[in-house]
Amino acid sequence: MGPKDHGVEQRAPVEFLRRMLATIEAGTVELPAFPQVVIQVQEVLKNPNYSVQMIVRPISADPTLANRLLNMANSTAFNATGRVIIDLGVALTRLGAQKVYSVVLAHAIQDVQRLELLRSIAKPLDELWSESVAVAHFCGAVVKRLKLAMPDAFAAGLLHRVGHLYILVQLARQEASQPRVTLSRDLVDEWHPTIAKAVLKNWHVNDAVCEAVGMQADVLAVRSGPPTLTDVLVAGMRLANRMMNSSDTSSFSSGGVLARLNLSIEECRGLIGEAEAEVRALARALHS
């Protein structure tokens, strides 16, 4: 089931979102000009006996993507030694399968964003992308700081707004001959995690990432047990929001996910202080 209906006055927007979700859940993700490399990498990763060289083959055929992954592996976030990597196979090994696949998907999404028909929404798409890069960094930083075994944290951060992006693309692609649907910010905020989870499942992204992305808005849930990937994603979102909006005091409010992760306000400020240069470097690597 999708999120709750907002009433008769919003029936057309809600039906638009319901149809969108049903189409995705039926197996069709409608993004124009989606690169073949995504499908090729998906097929390799489905093989439990895949090798790095099997992933190198389709990626090396796309020089821009190969360059992005090399730059990412050499960025300050992933290259503590400072030793420059020039071999794509070594770079992919350093990053790991989930990070590589999330970058392949992000590369495909950026290709879609450059289409002429989406020029009118270029600014909000760029803002979503910048936020996603920052959240991905903080998810990785939180996992590293707390020594958590969560290799999917970066992927969850990088892909957490894919539902919002997907909704914007579908709005922009509406037929001029049909009555145009507009969506309130509240409706998009309510539905984008559900849409994102469905899209990522369609793309065969790790179940843990799908679940965390789908639950990202459930910030008031009281959870017991050890920290989850959802906790890390929500913390990454709060840290990124505070870095980009320093006047937003709610990001560091007491209790909730930061308490579950045992992250103090001082530690959060430290992570933000360390992050700004690394986020810029990561953004440059992923935009190359």
Q: Which of 108, 96, 162 is nearest to 135 (CA)?
A: 162
**136: which residues sit within 8 A by CB, 6+ positions away?**
102, 154, 155, 156, 157, 158, 236, 282
Alpha-carbon distance of 56 to 285, in angstroms, equals 18
For the chain, strand residue ranges (E) read none
Q: Which of 286, 36, 258, 267 is nearest to 136 (CA)?
A: 286
Are the beta carbons of 2 and 18 closer than 8 angstroms? yes
- Quote the percentage of the chain above a pLDDT of 70: 92
Q: What is the reported pLDDT for 219?
A: 64
What the block records as the tokens of 65 is 């993507």
Q: Which of 219, 172, 171, 164 is nearest to 194 (CA)?
A: 164
Handedness of CA 191, 260, 241, 66 (dihedral sign): negative
Q: pTM here?
A: 0.83
Q: What is the reported pLDDT for 25?
A: 94
Q: What is the reported pLDDT for 23?
A: 95
Q: Which residues of the chain have pLDDT under 70?
A: 1-10, 219-223, 249-255, 287-288
Q: What is the reported pLDDT for 177?
A: 78
Are the beta carbons of 166 and 21 closer than 8 angstroms? no
- The domains of the chain are located at 8-287
Q: What is the reported pLDDT for 6?
A: 46
Domain 8-287, CATH number (from 1.10.3210.10, 1.50.10.10, 1.10.287.130, 3.50.4.10): 1.10.3210.10
Q: What does residue 134 show for φ and ψ, rounded to 5 degrees?
A: -65, -45
